[in-house]
Amino acid sequence: MKLHSQSQENSDDKIIWQQFLSGDVAAFEKLMSIHFRTLFHYGCKFSKDQEFVKDSIQDLFMHLWEKRNRLNAEAVVKPYLLASLRRLMHRSASSKSWVGEGQPENAAEVFDLEFSVEEQYIDTESTLVRTRQLEKLLLELPKRQKEVIYLKFFQELTREQISEIMAVSPQTVSNLLQIAIKQLKKHWKAEFLTFFVIHLFI
């Protein structure tokens, strides 16, 4: 996403958010409509049960509506919603619908990152094979490294926003990202990694 369009998106979000905080039902519904897909994709990283994810998102928005008088009017909406959903779902870690079923105490350690190759960008069979191999490497990264990569490159969030979502320091975010990229670069040139990050989205 270009910086200009990202800035415009944040500006639009802020207007809708403040309208929602004032009790505007239409703004509340628009807020849900705009962010549902992003929240759903993120939630599905933690649970295989899509209905559970949808219910969690609904619970989140109902909670926000009930508490709107006490919410921060200056919140950056997208990372705030992602962080809120993450906390809500982690509190439900004892649910059997959680990824890593059978080990509730370890549920928060799971991040089910999947990729879908946009094959129109793959012009040769050898490139497609290399891309599939790079997917495999990403999937083998530890949970927190996968989550940082997802939030940084796929949701285009800043280091500070990611630190808020994951409840870690900004330096920890930088460290996790650097370690993950270093691991990937052991096998692939930087320019091919850039190609992958730009063109592979879920």
- Round to whole Å and give the CA distance between 166 and 161: 9
pLDDT recorded at residue 153: 85
Say whether pLDDT at 54 is over 60. Answer: yes
Say whether pLDDT at 75 is over 60. Answer: yes
- Round to whole Å and give the CA distance between 164 and 186: 30
- Listing DSSP states for 63-111 in one string gives HHHHTGGGS-TT--HHHHHHHHHHHHHHHTTTSTTBSSTT-GGGGGG--
- Round to whole Å and give the CA distance between 76 and 58: 20
More confident residue, 41 or 154: 41
**What structural domains and CATH numbers belong to the chain?**
3-102 (1.10.1740.10), 113-201 (1.10.10.10)
